[in-house]
Amino acid sequence: MNRRTIRRSIIRTTSFISVIGTLCLFGDLAWAQNKSEKAFHAVAVDAKSVETDVKNVSFYYEEKISETAFVPHEMRELPVKRGTATVKIKFDGIKHIDLKPSGNGTASNVTITLNDGKTGEFILAVAGSFKGQSEFGEVELPAAELRKLTFK
């Protein structure tokens, strides 16, 4: 083999390996994003006993960082307080949430029932709302105005 043939075969091999590596890298990233982006489906009952079927549910709140700036947070978990600890309960494990408004402007009390039947009482760590898609369009349900959220 002459030098030109050796050089061509090396370039082809490295090009092939680079293309395969790039495809594997981007394929793994896309798969990881799809796995973490699981869509949740729930039925919400508000304070007026109106049921709303909500797809792609997330918990949404805005964090105030200055007088004019807010940072939006959209999560697939519910931040609650138990004593002094903040617990983030993932939607994957929740069967239903019963919300009891406190009435005096403080955070709502919640009773969370997990898929395995365990139940716990908590206080919402932040005032937020549940967002998603209803059959009529995008919907935002403030947690303070909900009675129950049942995951399907």
Tell me how far apart the alpha carbons of residues 127 and 145 are, in angstroms, rounded to a whole number: 11
Is residue 92 domain-shared with residue 45, that is, in the same domain? yes
Number of domains making up the chain:
2
Is residue 52 domain-shared with residue 32, that is, in the same domain? no
Is residue 49 domain-shared with residue 30, that is, in the same domain? no
Is residue 10 domain-shared with residue 59, that is, in the same domain? no
Q: Which residues of the chain have pLDDT under 50?
A: 29-30, 32-35
* Domain span including residue 104: 41-151
pLDDT, residue 108, reads 85
User: In this structure, what token pair is assigned to residue 89?
Assistant: 């309960």
pLDDT, residue 33, reads 46
Is residue 81 domain-shared with residue 21, that is, in the same domain? no
Is residue 32 domain-shared with residue 102, that is, in the same domain? no
Average pLDDT, the chain: 84
pLDDT, residue 107, reads 76
Is residue 82 domain-shared with residue 121, that is, in the same domain? yes
Is residue 58 domain-shared with residue 30, that is, in the same domain? no
Is residue 78 domain-shared with residue 142, that is, in the same domain? yes
Is residue 25 domain-shared with residue 45, that is, in the same domain? no
- For 140, residues 6+ apart whose C-beta sits below 8 A from its C-beta are 60, 129, 130, 131
Question: Strands, DSSP E only, in the chain?
Answer: 41-46, 51-64, 70-75, 77-82, 85-90, 94-100, 109-114, 119-124, 129-134, 137-142, 146-151
> 79 with 86: CB under 8 angstroms?
yes
Is residue 74 domain-shared with residue 61, that is, in the same domain? yes
pLDDT, residue 115, reads 95
